């Protein structure tokens, strides 16, 4: 834990906010990102089935390891192909 002193005027909530969401997933490309922990694939397989039933076009991605953020290339690939992303399953 590193403690830093806030250089700002402390008035602004310098936090990110969620981007806008679509009305529904029908017709959208949904990326499922597997973080590569055990049993996550079963969970994601089921999500894929259910999301497809909802009319989404599901694409599957897998991180090389759950111990670090996804490689830049993978994030870029996901970002260029998908309109919504679901990452699972951390435990």
Partner 1 sequence: MNATGSAAPMLPDGLVIVVKRECETCRMTAPVLEELRRGPLPVTIYTQDDPSFPAGLSPIHDHDLAISWHHDIETVPTVIRVDNGHEVARTVGWSRAEWENVTGITGLGTELPVMRPGCGSMSVDPDLVDALRVRFGGSALAARRVEVAAAEDEFEAMFDRGWTDGLPVIPPTEARVMRMLTGTSRAPDDVVAVVPPDLVEVTVEKIAINAVMAGCKPEYLPWVIAAVEAVCNDTFNIHGVLATTMPVGPVIVCSGPGTRAIGMNSGMNVFGQGNRANLTIGRAVQLVVRNIGGGRPGEVDRATHGNPGKISFCFAEDDAHSPWTSLAESRGAAKGSDALTVFPGEGPRCVVDQLARDPESLCNTFAACLRTLHNPKSILAFDAILVVGPEHARVFAEAGWNREKVVEEITARLQIPGSELVRGANGIAEGIPAHLKDAVLPKFRPGGLLLVYAGGGAGLFSAIIGGWANGDVGSQPVTKEVTR
Partner 2 sequence: MHDIVDIERRGIPGVFVASAEFVTAADAQSKSLGFPDVARVFTPHPIQDRTDDEMRAYADEALAAIVAAVTRS
Within a 10 A sphere around the Cβ of 88, how many other Cβ atoms?
15
Q: Considering the complex, what minimum distance in angstroms separates the CB of residue 12 from partner 1? A: 6
Q: Does 21 bind partner 1 (CB under 8 A)?
A: no
Q: If you write DSSP's letter for every residue of 36-51 in order, what string do you get?
A: --TTHHHHHHHHHHHH
Q: Considering the complex, what minimum distance in angstroms separates the CB of residue 16 from partner 1? A: 8
Is 37 in contact with 11 (CB distance < 8 Å)? no
Pick what 20 binds: partner 1, partner 2, none; C-beta below 5 to 8 Å, kind-dependent.
partner 2
Q: Considering the complex, what minimum distance in angstroms separates the CB of residue 27 from partner 2? A: 12
């Amino acid at each position: 834990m590193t403690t830093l002193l806030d250089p700002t005027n402390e008035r602004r909530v310098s936090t990110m906010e969620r981007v806008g969401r679509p009305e529904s997933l029908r017709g959208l490309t949904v990326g499922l990102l597997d973080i590569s922990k055990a049993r996550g694939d079963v969970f994601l397989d089921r999500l894929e089935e259910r999301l497809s039933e909802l009319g989404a076009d599901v694409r599957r991605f897998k991180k090389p390891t759950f111990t670090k953020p996804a490689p830049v290339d993978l994030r870029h690939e996901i970002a260029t192909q998908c309109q919504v992303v679901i990452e699972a399953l951390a435990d």
